[in-house]
Structure 1
Amino acid sequence: MRTASQTTPPIFLIGFNKCGTTSFHDYFKANGISSVHWRANTLAMALHQNHLAGQPLLQGIDRWTAYTDMICIPGTPWGGSNSDDQPLIEGSRYFKALHRDYPDALFVLNTRNPFDWIRSRLKHDQGRFAQAYLDALRPDGIRNRRQLKQRWLLDWYQHHSEVLQYFSTEAPKQLLLFHISETPVKRLNRFLAPHFAIQQRRFPHHHRSA
Structure 2
Amino acid sequence: MTKSGPDGRLPRVVAIGFNKCGTRSFAELFRKAGHSVIHHKVRDRWPVPRRIGKIMQENLAAGRKVFDSVEDYTFYCDLIYATKSSTFDGASAYREILRDYPDTIFILNLRDREQWITSRLRHGHGEFAKREMAARGLSSMDELTDQWRTEWDAHLADVRGFMADHPAQYIEFDLDSDKAEDLVARLPDYRLNAEDFHDIGRTRGRQMGWLKRKAKKFIAHNRPRFLR
Same structural fold, with TM-score higher than 0.5 when normalized by the shorter chain:
yes
| TM-score category (smaller protein) | 0.7 to 0.9
Sort the Cα spacing of 1:14 and 1:96 in 2 relative to 1 into closer, same or farther, 3 A.
Answer: same
Aligned match for 1:197, one of 191, 195, 200? 191
Describe how 1:24-173 pairs up with structure 2 within 5 A: 24-39=26-41, 42-75=51-84, 87-138=86-137, 142-169=138-165, 171-173=166-168
Aligned match for 1:207, one of 190, 197, 201? 201
Tell me the CA shift for residue 143 of structure 1.
2.1
Could you say what secondary structure the match of 2:164 adopts? helix
Query: Equivalents in 2 of 1:192, 1:5: separation in Å?
Result: 19
Q: Which amino acid aligns with 1:68?
A: C
Aligned residues: 193
Gaps of 5+ in 1: 76-83
Q: TM-score, normalised by structure 2?
A: 0.80
Q: Which amino acid aligns with 2:190?
A: F
Query: Equivalents in 2 of 1:43, 1:125: separation in Å?
Result: 19
Q: Which amino acid aligns with 1:17?
A: N
Query: Equivalents in 2 of 1:184, 1:42: separation in Å?
Result: 30
Gaps of 5+ in 2: 42-48, 207-228
8 Å contact kept, 2:33–2:192: yes
Aligned match for 1:16, one of 15, 18, 40? 18
Query: Equivalents in 2 of 1:127, 1:116: separation in Å?
Result: 15
Could you say what secondary structure the match of 1:107 adopts? strand
Could you say what secondary structure the match of 1:207 adopts? helix
Tell me the CA shift for residue 26 of structure 1.
0.6
Tell me the CA shift for residue 190 of structure 1.
1.3
Segments of 4+ moved more than 4 angstroms: none
Q: Which protein shows a greater Rg? A: 2
User: Aligned-residue CA RMSD in angstroms?
Assistant: 1.7
Give percent identity, aligned residues only: 28
Q: Which amino acid aligns with 1:161?
A: A
